Amino acid sequence: MDNAFSLFTSVFIEALNKRRSILKAEAQKFREHGLIPLKACHDLIAEKLKSTQSYIEEGHYILRVGGCTSAEESSRFSEKASQLGRLVKRKVELQNTVVFPPCHVLG
C-alpha cells in the first residue's frame, strides 16, 4: 500500500510540475507579446517628451532675445508647437493595434 501511494504521489507531483511549466511558459509568451505595444508607446512618449523639451527651450530662447527675428522663424516655431497635441491621437492608434492571440495559439 505504501508503494502504491508513493507511486501515486510521485506521478501526481510530476503532472503538477509539468502543468506549472506549461502555465509559466504561456504566461511568459503573453508577457512578451503584451510588452511589444507598451514598448512602442514608451518609445513614442519618450520621443515626444524630448521634442517638447526642445520646443520649451526654443521658446525660452525666443523670449530671452525679445521675440522671433522673422516671420519665417515665428511660423516654424508655431508649426513645431502645434505638433505637441498629436501624442494623444498617436497613442490611441497604438492602443487600437494591440491584439492578444487566444491561448491555444500560444500553447
> According to the 3-state scheme, what is the secondary structure of 15-40?
HHHHHHHHHHHHHHHHHHHHHHHHHH
Number of domains in the chain: 1
pTM, entire model = 0.48
Q: For position 103, what pLDDT does the model report?
A: 45
C-alpha span between 28 and 20 (Å, rounded): 12
Q: What DSSP state is assigned to residue 69?
A: S
Q: For position 105, what pLDDT does the model report?
A: 44
Q: Which domain holds residue 15?
A: 2-98
Q: When comparing pLDDT for 66 and 98, which is higher?
A: 66
Residue 106 lies in a domain: no
Residue 88 lies in a domain: yes
Say if residue 29's pLDDT is above 80. yes
Cell digits of residue 36: 511589444
Residue 103 lies in a domain: no
Q: When comparing pLDDT for 44 and 14, which is higher?
A: 14
∠ at Cα 67 (62, 72), nearest 5°? 90
Residue 35 lies in a domain: yes
List, for residues 38-92, the tens digit of each pLDDT value. 888 888 888 888 888 887 887 777 777 776 666 777 777 777 777 765 654 555 4
Q: For position 87, what pLDDT does the model report?
A: 52
Q: For position 76, what pLDDT does the model report?
A: 76
Residue 107 lies in a domain: no
Residue 89 lies in a domain: yes
Q: For position 82, what pLDDT does the model report?
A: 73
